[in-house]
Amino acid sequence: MTLVTLSPAGEQAPAPEYKPTAFLKELVKQMHAIDSYGTYEGWPDERVLAPFIVTKEQRRQIPVVGDPDEETLARVKVLYNGVAAMIEQNCGLMAVPMANLSHEGFGRALITVGKLVVVDRTLRDVHRFGFESFEKLDAEGNKLLTPALALIEKFREVAEA
């Protein structure tokens, strides 16, 4: 099954290329975990992750007035849950993600391991949350994961506390 998106003019745009990576596979697991009705059952991974892909044109069309929708908030949480799960897989310690967002789409995401804060990200314009491609989504996950693992290695005693 090929995923097709529509451009703002209504023309078919090619779907971004999906290359499964460890992080993207983890995000698929996290998306299935929040799918309480089994909607994603049987869907290919790229279709499950398609809501994370937002082109510049699509982003411009999303209003930043009002509350971010629940689906967008869920995707933000899935991203940080995925990073936390990858941290646990790599270091063997429990990682706890926390996201605090205001109704205006601003807030903060944290991931703690023990008493150590390994990810601290300010969130802005959550209404327009998304990535240009699967490759950029994967890069963002790795950009959060790599320094977190380095902090855990450097301050292992605090992470184990």
- Show the CA angle centred on residue 5, arms to residues 81 and 46, nearest 5°: 40
What sign does the CA torsion over 111, 75, 30, 100 have?
positive
CA dihedral 119, 124, 125, 128 (to 10 degrees): -20
What's this model's pTM, rounded to 2 decimal places?
0.86
Which one of 1-5, 78-82, 102-106 scores highest in mean pLDDT? 78-82
pLDDT of 51 higher than 70: yes
What sign does the CA torsion over 3, 58, 104, 138 have?
positive
Mean pLDDT of 14-42: 90
The CATH number of 18-159, from 1.10.357.10, 1.10.3100.20, 3.40.50.2300, 3.40.630.40, is: 1.10.3100.20
pLDDT of 10 higher than 80: no
Task: Determine the pLDDT at residue 73.
Answer: 92
